[in-house]
């Protein structure tokens, strides 16, 4: 069941007239219930208000008299609220650079998939990567990578999604003066973010993003000459 709902666990005594002489006790995973959200009804039924994922477990109803003892076990599974906590934004990136589309999801046993213009995106381990938190990374983007990207998160019958537009700008002068040995290493750093955060002056970061930092420096030089 979903988090926030009320759970009802029954423990039926037959015949019902025997209830007066029967002692009923509930435990969870072998431990006595102490939370105020747990309430035992006169007929032995256990109700749990506003359940959360930590309420998942094995519940045991023990019915005992002076002469007899019987137990019944019930498994309760509570799914945490499924929600995209960090969604992708519309972005415009330069051709040849890296695009990052975040998709961080809360919930239990969540599966995450991406699509572009309604067609599933398949990570290939090189130009298309998906991080452990579900975010999509597009390396060396091309004009054909433009489109509407949708992050789909689902668990069981529940699903949520978030959509963002990716636009690729082509700079005809970009890379003209970049030596062939000056290359980005996208597997070590997100060069788009390095340039954006103005970290190219840092030798550590610029060593991973030689091409992007060089192009950024060239573009700034061109803008300065124009001004």
Domain housing 214: 177-227
Same-domain pairing of 101 and 140: yes
Alpha carbon distance 131, 140 (integer Å): 17
2 found inside a domain: no
Which residue, of 32, 61, 76, is where some domain finishes? 76
Digit-by-digit pLDDT tens for the chain (227 residues) are 777 889 999 988 887 777 788 889 999 998 988 888 999 988 889 999 988 888 899 999 999 988 888 899 999 988 777 889 999 999 999 999 999 999 999 877 789 999 999 999 999 988 999 998 899 999 999 999 999 999 999 987 788 999 999 999 876 444 456 777 788 888 888 888 888 888 888 888 888 888 888 888 877 766 555 54
In a domain, 32, yes or no: yes
Task: Extract the tokens encoding 111.
Answer: 């599966």
Do 71 and 43 belong to one domain? yes
Q: For residue 115, what are the β-bridge partners?
A: 120, 150
Closest CA relative to residue 42, chosen from 68, 22, 60: 22
- Token pair for 123: 């990570």
CB-CB neighbours of 9 under 10 Å? 17
Q: Is residue 158 part of a domain?
A: yes
Same domain flag for 142 and 101: yes
pLDDT at residue 52, rounded to an integer? 84
- Same-domain status, 15 and 65: yes
Q: Do 86 and 72 share a structural domain? A: no
In a domain, 59, yes or no: yes
CA atoms within 13 A on the CB side of 51: 21
The pLDDT value recorded for residue 224 is: 54
Phi-psi region of 109 (alpha: psi -120 to 50; beta: other; left: phi over 0): left
Query: CA 72, 77, 78, 79: dihedral to nearest 10 degrees?
Result: -170
Is 54 in the same domain as 106?
no
Please state the φ and ψ torsions of residue 138, each to the nearest 5 degrees. -110, 115
181 and 223 in a single domain? The answer is: yes
In a domain, 34, yes or no: yes
Do the domain assignments include residue 213? yes
Both 181 and 159 in one domain: the answer is no
Q: Could you tell me the CA-to-CA distances from 199 to 58, 95, 122, 220 in Å, in that order?
A: 53, 20, 31, 15
Residue 33 lies in a domain: yes
Instruction: Establish if 1 belongs to a structural domain.
Output: no
Q: Which of 46, 76, 106 corresponds to the end of one domain?
A: 76
- 41 shares its domain with 60: yes
Mark whether 94 and 162 lie in a shared domain.
yes
| Predicted local distance difference test score (pLDDT) of residue 173 | 47
Last residue of a domain, one of 121, 150, 170: 170
Number of domains present in the structure of the chain: 3
- Assess whether 132 and 213 both reside in one domain: no
* Residue 114 belongs to domain with CATH number: 2.60.40.10
Q: 130 with 144, same domain?
A: yes
The pLDDT assigned to 58 comes to 94
């Amino acid at each position: 069941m979903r988090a926030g709902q009320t759970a009802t666990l029954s423990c039926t005594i037959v015949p019902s007239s025997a209830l007066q002489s029967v002692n009923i006790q509930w435990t969870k995973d072998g431990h006595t219930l102490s939370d105020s959200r747990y309430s035992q009804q006169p007929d032995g039924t256990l109700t749990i208000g506003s359940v959360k994922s930590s309420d998942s477990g094995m519940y045991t109803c023990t019915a005992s008299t002076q002469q007899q003892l019987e137990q019944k076990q019930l498994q309760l599974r509570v799914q945490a609220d499924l929600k995209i906590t960090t969604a992708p934004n519309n972005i415009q990136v330069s051709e040849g650079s890296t695009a990052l589309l975040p998709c961080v999801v809360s919930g239990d046993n969540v599966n995450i998939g991406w699509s572009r213009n309604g067609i599933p995106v398949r990570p290939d381990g090189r130009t298309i990567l998906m991080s452990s938190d579900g975010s999509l990374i597009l390396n060396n983007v091309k004009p054909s990578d433009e489109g509407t990207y949708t992050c789909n998160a689902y668990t069981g019958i529940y699903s949520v999604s978030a959509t963002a537009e990716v636009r690729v700008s082509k700079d005809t002068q970009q890379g003209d003066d970049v030596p062939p040995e000056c290359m980005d290493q996208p597997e070590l750093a997100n060069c788009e973010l390095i340039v954006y955060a103005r970290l190219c002056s840092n030798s550590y970061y610029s060593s991973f993003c030689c091409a992007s930092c060089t192009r950024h420096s060239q573009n700034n030089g061109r803008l300065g000459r124009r001004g």
